[in-house]
Amino acid sequence: MKSTAIITGITGQDGSYLAEFLLRRGYEVHGIVRHTSTESYGRIEHLRHQVVLHKADLLDTGSIQSVVENVRPTEFYNLAAMSFVPVSWEQPILTSEVTGLGVLRALEAIRVVNPRIRFYQASSSEMYGEVVETPQSETTRFYPRSPYAVAKVFAHYMTVNYRESYNMFACSGILFNHESPRRGTDFVTRKITHAVARIKMGLQNELRLGNLDSMRDWGFAGDYVRAMWMMLQQESPRDYVIGTGDTTRIRDFVQMAFDYAGLDPQDHVVIDPRFYRPAEVNLLRANPDKAKRELGWEPEVDLRGLVAMMMEHDLELARIEKLTVGRAYERKAAAA
């Protein structure tokens, strides 16, 4: 029988990589997209004819349930969330509704329609917050430090609870930061590579950042979606930490990106307190031993490779932007 997957958050970074991954494996892929006044399907534009999109929202249980009823999937990947940590202080209730309760709505829809559907929940290393030990593993106690992280802890335990209460195949991947050329430009890595490329092309001169002393365990999103799929192919459902095991200061990522472009960060980086957070997560480093042992998962792209991949993409974007701006200027000048 052909495997069929529903992906919530298919328009996001991970959703787009996961859709590609599952299509390569012969899956029938269905994506849940929310209604917006203008469609923003940029990351999956190239897949539009290979996936089926359904309008539904994690805020609306009925809409999720009817997609599950219509599609009758074998696997359900819940990637949708309000995922940007700073916004979770500005919109804590919305964050709790989507990132926390939204997961419960999805679990309920599956329990009611067919509890044999395998369920993946996008848990986060942010749940470790003010870490109580380093590196962090599946047994490390959570200490969430933002409304986003608190909502993820709720969702995480709901997933465990549905597994234990209803015998559902429900797993959480506790994923550490993973990036790519498709990362949103608000997140620090992409904010940096995007700005450095634009500085290189003379399109901007300054990069304003917040706390450069925190440390993150960064990997490549393409490697991490493979781990999600692997979790759902096991004989029994378990939770896994996914990360590289290395950690790097934001400051050092900045240096790597500027080095790649042959520029000096001191000429361009400005520290702006607007980007400090009410509570910071200072240090994250994964212990991915369980995933390596039980899933056979290994990351294929290291940090240097990731920086190169993102810089190449953003340099190309900046080249196109410069050409487009130049042509528009010439047209305007000619018409004057």
**Which positions are annotated as active-site residues?**
124, 126, 148
Could you tell me the smallest distance in angstroms from the CB atom of residue 312 to ligand NDP?
Answer: 20
Q: Do the Cβ atoms of 175 and 124 come closer than 8 Å?
A: yes
Closer CB to ligand GDR, 13 or 65, in the complex:
13
Which one of 109-117, 209-217, 255-263, 322-330 is the stretch in contact with ligand GDR (CB under 6 A)? Answer: 209-217
**Residue 140 tokens, joined:** 């490390």
Residue 125 touches ligand GDR, criterion: CB under 6 A: yes
> Among all chains, which residue has been given the structure tokens 């991947």?
173
Please tell me whether residue 144 adopts helix, strand or coil conformation. coil
Residue 186 touches ligand GDR, criterion: CB under 6 A: yes
Candidates 21, 89, 157, 275; binder of ligand GDR (CB under 6 A) is 275
Residue 83 touches ligand GDR, criterion: CB under 6 A: yes
- Measured from the Cβ of residue 50, the count of other Cβ atoms closer than 10 Å reads 12
Determine the Cα–Cα distance for residues 42 and 320; give it in Å rounded to an integer.
17
Q: Nearest residue to ligand NDP, using CB?
A: 12
Closest CA to 124 of 108, 100, 101: 100
Residue 214 binding result from ligand GDR, ligand NDP, none, given CB thresholds of 5 to 8 Å by partner type: ligand GDR
Residue 85 binding result from ligand GDR, ligand NDP, none, given CB thresholds of 5 to 8 Å by partner type: ligand GDR
Q: Do the Cβ atoms of 184 and 319 come closer than 8 Å?
A: no
Residue 128 bridge partners (DSSP)? none
Site size toward ligand GDR (CB under 6 A) is: 21
Closer CB to ligand GDR, 6 or 286, in the complex:
286
Residue 170 bridge partners (DSSP)? 119
Determine the Cα–Cα distance for residues 281 and 263; give it in Å rounded to an integer.
29
Determine the Cα–Cα distance for residues 243 and 167; give it in Å rounded to an integer.
28
Closer CB to ligand NDP, 4 or 11, in the complex:
11
Residue 191 touches ligand GDR, criterion: CB under 6 A: yes
| Binding residues vs ligand GDR (CB under 6 A) | 83, 85, 124-126, 176-177, 186-188, 191, 209-211, 214, 216, 250, 275, 277, 280-281
